[in-house]
Amino acid sequence: MRRNEPVTGHEREYPAHYHLITTTDLKGKITAANEEFAEVAGYSIDELVGQPHNLIRHPDMPPEAFANLWETIRKGDSWRGMVKNRCKNGDHYWV
């Protein structure tokens, strides 16, 4: 399992009107991200696309938390929920 470090303990806040959106293939690779997502995560879109989505997984998120997410996605449905992600610099944000 990927161990995403560093972590700073600092929460990255972003404007309430932002819509952070990514799409992921069934292998967990990011296929698209919007500008707002890239900005908050601290990556360029080019740095994100093609990478495993767990690139931004915060180590506080247990792998078991994603079981429902992947079950839903594999059925072809969209998934919604709260996830703690890690910024490139180690800060975290909630989506």
Q: What six digits make up the tokens of 79?
A: 């998934």
Does residue 11 lie within any of the structural domains?
Answer: no
Does residue 3 lie within any of the structural domains?
Answer: no
* Interval 32-71: pLDDT, tens: 999 999 999 999 999 999 999 999 999 999 888 888 888 8
Considering its fold, how many domains does the chain have in total? 1
The pLDDT, as a whole number, for residue 41 is: 98
Distance (Å, rounded) from C-alpha 24 to C-alpha 39?
Answer: 18
- Enclosing domain of residue 47: 22-94
How would residue 1 be classed by pLDDT, with cut points 50, 70 and 90?
very low
Q: What is the CATH number of the domain that holds 66?
A: 3.30.450.20
Helices (H), 1-95: 35-41, 45-48, 67-74
* Interval 4-32: pLDDT, tens: 668 999 999 999 999 999 998 889 899 99
